[in-house]
């Protein structure tokens, strides 16, 4: 079993996006369950974004070989992980 990396702290959304253009979610601690997404019961959540934001998200997802929905899920999971770590540290 390989050693998982720790996620760095991001100051901006742009920094966050640039980081994940070069990195794999599977190399980072706490994100292993992303691999099991096909076994999870799925729930659709409608999301409305400004057209310019949606365009950027689609472009970024495509550049990473992901569907837009997959990239958004990764981002949400990362934020949930960050939130849970912050609560533990308090």
> What are 15-34's pLDDT values in tens digits?
777 787 777 766 776 665 55
Q: Is residue 15 in some structural domain?
A: no
Q: Is residue 78 in some structural domain?
A: yes
Parent domain of 69: 53-90
Tokens of 60: 């970024």
The answer to whether 58 and 68 are in contact (CB under 8 A) is: yes
Q: Is residue 85 in some structural domain?
A: yes
Domain count, the chain: 1
Q: Is residue 73 in some structural domain?
A: yes
The pTM of this model reads 0.55
The answer to whether 34 and 76 are in contact (CB under 8 A) is: no
Is 80 exceeded by the pLDDT of residue 8?
A: no
Cβ atoms within 10 A of the Cβ of 25, count? 20
* Closest by CA position to 71, among listed 81, 82, 60, 83: 60
Q: Is residue 24 in some structural domain?
A: no
Q: Is residue 27 in some structural domain?
A: no
């Amino acid at each position: 079993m390989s050693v998982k990396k720790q996620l760095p702290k991001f100051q901006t959304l742009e920094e966050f996006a640039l980081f994940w253009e070069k990195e794999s979610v599977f190399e980072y601690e706490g994100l292993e369950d992303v691999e099991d997404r096909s076994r999870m019961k799925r729930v659709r959540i409608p999301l409305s974004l400004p057209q310019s934001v949606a365009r950027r998200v689609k472009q970024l997802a495509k550049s990473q070989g992901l569907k837009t929905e997959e990239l958004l899920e990764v981002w949400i999971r990362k934020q949930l992980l960050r939130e849970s770590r912050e609560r533990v540290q308090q």
